[in-house]
Every structure is written in structure tokens, then in C-alpha cells.
Structure 1
Amino acid sequence: MTELLTFQLAKFTDLPQIVAIYNQTIAAKTVTADLQPVTVKQREPWFQQHQNPQRPLWTVTQNQQMLGWVSLSDFYGRAAYQPTAEISLYFDQTSRHQGCGSQTLHFVEKQLLQLQISNLVAEVFSQNIPSTHFFQKNHFQRWGHLPQVADMGSHWCDVDIWGKKY
């Protein structure tokens, strides 16, 4: 992908497209622990949590078309964990494997000092090889492994916690 991406704080009007992109990943049962598509209404509380300036949700666009989104969430709800945020990146199926993730991560990394974040973590199913390779390529280390913690109905998934200090 040669064209630069644009990042904007998500607006409530973006939520239907954010949900649609997220729902594309559910059927594979290797990306997210949701087993059924979610609705915009179900995601409204999640969206509201990302109105906190310290835990933003950005849309990723190119030529005014949303390709995906990225969010920073609380790693854990207690005060001592505030310097650590969980990153989530999701892209429309037509925009994957084109360098969007790397450009997006680079953008997020440039925001971390202002957001007072010194650690990023990502929870990734071990079976999700593309995401595992993405985080390895971007110098994240495997900080944890949780065996068979997600019952996907037809199979169990392990979860790896990938982390990077800044």
C-alpha cells in the first residue's frame, strides 16, 4: 500500500461501519472470542469507553473510505495498570495484508507519549498466524500464554499476550 492512511478519532456515526468490519472476523473463529455477530447497540457501551482521551478509538481511512479501526483499551481496571493499554486493530477484508497494520501501529506509537502509555499489549489467539507474525515483525514479545481458555464451540483456542515497552 503506497498511499498514506488518515487517522481520525471515531465519531458515533462511524460505529455501524466499525461494527461491520469487526463482524467480518467472527466466522473464522480465530480472531475474536465473539461467537455471533455483534450489533451496533451492543457496541455502544464499548464505544462510549473510547470517548476517554486516554483510551481513544481511531478510524483508519484512505481517500475518505474507512479501511479499519484501532483502539486502545484499559489493560486492567486498576490504577497501577494505567501506563499499559491493550491495542486492537481490525481491517476490512479487502484491506488486509497491504501494509495498513504497520502504518496504523506506527501512528499509534507516535501518540503514546502524549497518552502517557509506556506498554502496549495485544491478546491474540495462538492460531491467528497473521496477527502473531504482525506483532513479531513489529518487535512485540510474547509476554504470556493462556492454554485453551476460549471455547469457540468447535475447538478451543489458546491466547497469547504480546507486549512491547516504549
Structure 2
Amino acid sequence: MKIRSAVESDLAAIVQIYNAAIPGRMSTADLEPVSVESRLAWYREHSPNSWPIWVMESEQNIVGWLSFQLFYGRAAYQHTAEVSLYVAPDRQRCGIGQKLLQSAILRSPELQLKNLIGLIFAHNQPSLRLFEKFGFQQWGYLPQVTELDGVERDIVILGLRCL
């Protein structure tokens, strides 16, 4: 398995993995599948040297991905990135998320990032445990800010200082 920068031809696999997470209501606030076309602008906002998207490849198949994005969208937050991480359903609990997150932490300084942020549903215990395993701490809590199938859900903001 190897981690590499995503290329545009990976977008279909990235979207497929993302869409597989939607029905579980554990890791995304999207309620309906997204299309490759709808994610093109998102993909093009990223580059390998700033705000990258990385994919984990195994036997020429993408089995997970991680993206960095500017937290809160203003210049003063340029050294803080929100991290999104998704793993193919049949490859969860195989260490892929750990490898992607560990790589994000280790490579943050070269991306000039001082802080990593994860916005995670409070009921998503596997993701909370993963981030906490790598030293992320609770930096905030947003009660009942999302509604999934009529159930109000909380968001935990986890953060890590990467200096």
C-alpha cells in the first residue's frame, strides 16, 4: 500500500468511497450521494503542495483518501487545516485510516500547517478513537448542529498542534 497525491482520474474512486459513507450517517452531513461532476471544483481547489488530497492505493485500487482544507476560509487561518478522512467500507479497520492520519501529521510542517482540525460526529466513536490515538484533543463541541433522519446530532471539534 502506498500514499500518493490524488490525480483527477482518481475522483471517481474518491466519490465512490465518500458516497458509501453517506447511508451510515456516521461521517458526513451529506444526505444524498454526490456526483463526480459536483466534486470537480472541490478537487481543483486542492494541489499537492497546498491543501493536498492524498489517496491510499493497494493493488492499483484506491482504498481510502484524506484531504486538507483551509479551516474557516480566511487568510489568518492559513496554518490550520481541517482534515477529512474516508476509507472504503471493505477496508475499514485495516489500518488505512491510521496510515493516512499519521502521514498527515508527519507532513504537516512541510505544508506549513501548525494545527490540524477534525470535525467529527459525537456518535462516530471509531473516528473519535482514531484521532485521539494520534494525540488529537477536544477543542470544541457543537451540540445539536446537524439533523440526520430526524435525529439531532452533535459535532466534536478535535485539534492537534503539529509543531
TM-score, normalising length: structure 2: 0.95
Alignment partner of 1:66 is 2:58: no
* Higher mean displacement: 102-111 or 22-31: 102-111
Cα distance per residue 1:123-153 (max 9 Å; x no partner): 0000111101111111100100000001113
Q: Superposition pairs for residues 101-140 of structure 1, below 5 Å? A: 101-140=97-136
Match of 1:81 among 60, 74, 77: 77
AA paired with 2:134?
N
Q: Secondary structure at the match of 2:31?
A: coil
1 CA distance for matches of 2:81 and 2:16? 24
Which residue does 2:94 correspond to in 1?
98
| Alpha-carbon shift at residue 101 of structure 1 (Å) | 1.2
User: Matches of 1:38 and 1:162 in 2, distance apart?
Assistant: 26
Aligned counterparts of 1:112 and 1:98: Cα–Cα separation in 2: 23
For 2:86 and 2:119, the matched residues in 1 are separated by 13
Q: Structure 1 CA distance, aligned partners of 2:84 and 2:144? A: 21
Instruction: Could you list the structure 1 runs, at least 4 aligned residues long, displaced by more than 4 angstroms after superposition.
Output: none
Aligned AA for 1:161? Answer: I
The 3-state SS of whatever aligns with 2:21 is coil
Match of 2:138 in 1: 142
- Which deviates the most, 146-155 or 117-126? 146-155
In the TM superposition, residue 52 of structure 1 has moved relative to its aligned partner by: 6.4
Q: Which residue of 2 aligns with 1:15?
A: 11
Partners in 2 of 1:111 and 1:136 — Cα distance? 18
Task: Could you tell me which runs of 5 or more consecutive residues in structure 1 were left unpaired when the two chains were aligned.
Answer: none
Report matched runs for 1:47-58 at 5 Å: 47-51=43-47, 53-58=49-54
Q: Which amino acid in 2 is paired with 1:49?
A: E
- Across the aligned residues of Structure 1 and Structure 2, the Cα RMSD in angstroms comes to 1.1
- Could you state the TM-score of these two structures normalised by the residue count of structure 1? 0.94
Counterpart contact for 2:102–2:134, Cα < 8 Å: no
2:11 aligns to what SS in structure 1? helix
2-side partners of 1:17 and 1:28: how far apart? 18
| Gap change, CA 1:113 and 1:48, over 3 Å in 2 | same
- Segments of 5+ residues of structure 2 without an aligned counterpart are none
SS of residue paired to 1:20: helix
Note the C-alpha offset of 1:63.
2.4
